[in-house]
Amino acid sequence: MTTSRKTRARLGMLPLAVTVLLAAGCGTQRAGDDGDASGRTRPTPTGVPTPSAPADFPCPGESPEPTAATATATPRPTAPPTDHYAENHGFRDPIPLHGRSRCEGLTAVGRVRSALEPLRRRGDFAPDSVREALTGAGYSAGKVRTYRNGSGVGFLIVIGASPWCVEGTMSGDSTRADAFGGYPDGTDCEPPSGGH
C-alpha cells in the first residue's frame, strides 16, 4: 500500500515539475530587448527569419515596374511619433490586399471603372444611376452603396466574406476606385467612426 501511495505522489509531482522546468526558461526579457541579465547587448542571431511584408507580384495586365505613386510615396519616419497620432488613428487605415487577392482587386477595380465610364462621359452623376451600373456589372444590390459626393458620386461595394471591398468616386474629371481588405477594427468595408 505504501508503494502505490509513493507512485501516486510521484505522478502528482510530475505536472508540478514540468511547470517548474518550463517557468525556469522564462525570464524578464521582452520582445525587442537585446540585453542579457548583466545589461550587456547581445548580437542579433543570424539565420533567424524575420517577418517580412507579404510578397506581391505583377498581376495580369500590370507592368512589373513600380507605379509613379509608389515611386513618389513619402517615406514613413523610422522614429516613433512623439504624439502617437499615427498609432491612435491606425484603425482608419484600410487593410491592403496582397498576392492573388491584390490581382483580384485590380480586376474588380477595372470592372467598376468600365461600368461607370459611360455614365461619367454622359455627365450622369446620380447615385441611383451609379448603383444601377454597378449592379448591372454583377454586384449584388444589397452590397452596393452609393451617395452624393460634392459634384460627383461616391460608392462602396462589399465583395466576399473576408471582407473584401471596392471604394471610390466618380466625378467629371475621373473615376477613382480602390480595392482593400476592410479595416483593422473589424468594421468590414465601412470606415470606422472612432477609436480608443
Q: What per-residue confidence (pLDDT) applies to 129?
A: 96
What digits encode the pLDDT tens for the residues 127-152?
999 999 999 999 999 999 999 999 99
Report the first-to-last Cα separation within the chain, whole angstroms: 62
| All cell numbers assigned to 196 | 480608443
Residue with cell 460634392: 150
Q: Is the peptide bond before 163 cis (omega within 30 degrees of 0)?
A: yes
- pLDDT tens, position by position, 68-84: 443 334 455 555 556 66
Domain ranges of the chain: 90-180
Please tell me the distance from the alpha carbon of residue 85 to that of residue 77, in angstroms, as a whole number.
13
User: Which residue's entry shows cell 472612432?
Assistant: 194
pLDDT of residue 69: 41
- From 135, 119, 122, select the one nearest 169 (Cα to Cα): 119
